[in-house]
Structure 1
């Protein structure tokens, strides 16, 4: 259960690959995928469709965001995934995809510009299962998560039918054992000769997971065809940024055009920012304290909106830019500043906060905790500052007592 929930908690920081790149990697490690090719013009898409010589073709817009099937193009075309038996039908469809923005529930603003499409062999699926490999902190190593219920959100399966979620913790030094792969294949309800085939595919996926320094390999659906094949129909692979120095080939595939604009701006201002899905913005110094702060927020029922480490050499201007980054996320409903002044001068943070409050229309509660170097001076700066009166007066943590606040509506510790 915990491993399944961890899938949704992996931060946005990790490198994500386009679907066709993920399939190319899987094929390289012996994982069975559909035959496919990529095209960047309508003419090329038609030719690819003919070259594949498939009974049916599937056309997919290549963007990183999910929900393509139910998305809408700026051209008016509905759906980023289409099926056809006639390769000539691909041309008119691709004309309405490439060079147009596709908007889904997961894309920012008015959508993402589509520059390539994938044309693949369409295969019938007689049964869908779910399979993922990820690093699990509780198990202190890789864990394989599987369910015979595939093609749906794994979080929903875990919530409604947790008995259908199976896990295998892998000893990272010994590697995946054959009996573990066979047991997972059995739990996924592969029978007869297909159980052996599925187990081999699971082992190949694990080898891929290790070889490319992945943080997550998620296959949904991990499917069975009427012809007796086990195929990875759709996959998502995330990579650890810390492995960039030894995964140059993989990171060269990084498509920065779809990256979070806030993360790009953070890099310009030498801030470490990672967008997340919560609504409590965080400004912290030091990666360890930043992670501990997020843990505390979750412990009390909240959800962090970001990881933001301003670093040890932070300047007042960077604090202002950090507030701009946090405030640009419309999901943020409150901001928590938690700084321990070892190297960092708390008064620098305080001056940055006052500058941000004067220059920006901050419309969410602000809670500030400054401890360490020049904390008394920092506290005085905050208390004597004339903050805008429009700021909300109090922020309450879910199911907790209200945080103590001063008369001007700010909390100090």
Structure 2
């Protein structure tokens, strides 16, 4: 479960990490009221789960009421990388002299959590890791003992952080790990952690993602779950019980099993397409769940074609085929071309049941993905 910036900052602030004064707003008048209360200059920040908000026009620094009104009118209701902005965070501007990155996540290759620090804050940390990996200092953490003070200090010094703020940065990093550990998080990070002209450190952004399987142990965070949904699609996925992530592409992907869906995403990319989503309907998916999955993918205006990748273990191919037929027969005209690949339990029976007037059937996953990519490319021409 992803927390919004304002939610993550609330958790961070409660743990003692310095954050700017801020208020959430859902209208232009609320933005003006918040800005007056906090005091100019303020930043008006779209609350959506996407990176690069600033470059996309979702963050604006304003100096007065007129600029605040213009920013609110521009950001509220805007489409930001496929998401409609319904709320903004009005936040006191930080007079900074440096921007840092600090974060904690799980390194699955090492099988350990890792604490990270970099002087190159304020930019996409994935790009830094790819282009200049030595710019990120890493400390691997033994889960049995946690992040030790000497490790936090070493990560900060290895990153080249100024000694005047090294102690405060180490403290923030230690707190991030404590939150990661205590709150069943998958990621906790601050980018940027700003160093002010007076030598203080302030979390100008906040990221916190929670393991959904552990929410029963985190009642306070579980209460934030409904508000953490970005739009109707994610809310609908929660209601249906699907594992769903919205992406930027135009090829809708439906599968049963995370590994199967990830393989399909990789193949879409391999054949020159762009995935529009990750949608796992789970094992044992019957006709009604398949129909719900199609309803979700068709509801995404970015989708130009759909590929179904179903392998029958618990799931039966004939049940999947019935679900596809039932869903598509509701339409006078199929909204987007659907390509289906069935394998495993009752796959042959499913192939016979599928209505060839409604779907395109392929025998192999590679052929199905290639056809779906071609369908999307033709639709965009």
TM, length-normalised to structure 1: 0.74
C-alpha displacement of 1:271 = 4.3
CA contact (8 A) 1:16 1:64 kept: no
Counterparts of 2:216 and 2:362, CA distance in 1: 47
Cα gap change, 1:351/1:119 in structure 2, threshold over 3 Å: closer, same or farther? closer
**Superposition pairs of residues 194-233 of structure 1, within 5 angstroms:** 194-233=165-204
Residue 335 in structure 1 maps to residue 319 in structure 2? no
C-alpha displacement of 1:219 = 1.0
Q: Could you say which residue in structure 2 is the equivalent of 1:266?
A: 237
Q: Could you say which residue in structure 2 is the equivalent of 1:119?
A: 91
1:90-120 CA distance string (max 9 Å, x none): 4872586289734253342xx3223x54232
C-alpha displacement of 1:335 = 0.6
Residue 375 in structure 1 maps to residue 350 in structure 2? no
Q: Could you say which residue in structure 2 is the equivalent of 1:291?
A: 259
Counterparts of 1:124 and 1:96, CA distance in 2: 20
CA contact (8 A) 1:336 1:366 kept: yes
Counterparts of 1:305 and 1:213, CA distance in 2: 28
Counterparts of 1:83 and 1:318, CA distance in 2: 47
Which structure's CA Rg is the greater one? 1
Q: Could you say which residue in structure 2 is the equivalent of 1:64?
A: 48
Q: Could you say which residue in structure 1 is the equivalent of 2:356?
A: 386
1:340-390 CA distance string (max 9 Å, x none): 143x33211122233445435254461412311x333223223xx33258x
State the Cα RMSD in Å: 3.6
TM, length-normalised to structure 2: 0.79
1:202-244 CA distance string (max 9 Å, x none): 1112112222222111211123223222222211212222222
Q: Could you say which residue in structure 1 is the equivalent of 2:76?
A: 101
Counterparts of 2:196 and 2:71, CA distance in 1: 31
Cα gap change, 1:152/1:100 in structure 2, threshold over 3 Å: closer, same or farther? closer
Q: Could you list the runs of 5+ residues in structure 1 that have no partner in the other structure?
A: 1-13, 51-55, 73-78
Secondary structure class of the residue paired with 1:318: helix
Q: Could you say which residue in structure 2 is the equivalent of 1:82?
A: 61
Q: Could you list the runs of 5+ residues in structure 2 that have no partner in the other structure?
A: 376-381
CA contact (8 A) 1:340 1:370 kept: yes
How many residue pairs match? The answer is 362
CA contact (8 A) 1:284 1:338 kept: yes
Cα gap change, 1:57/1:43 in structure 2, threshold over 3 Å: closer, same or farther? closer
CA contact (8 A) 2:309 2:365 kept: no
C-alpha displacement of 1:299 = 7.3
1:150-181 CA distance string (max 9 Å, x none): 11112222232233233222111110022221
Cα gap change, 1:203/1:293 in structure 2, threshold over 3 Å: closer, same or farther? same
Q: Could you say which residue in structure 1 is the equivalent of 2:209?
A: 238
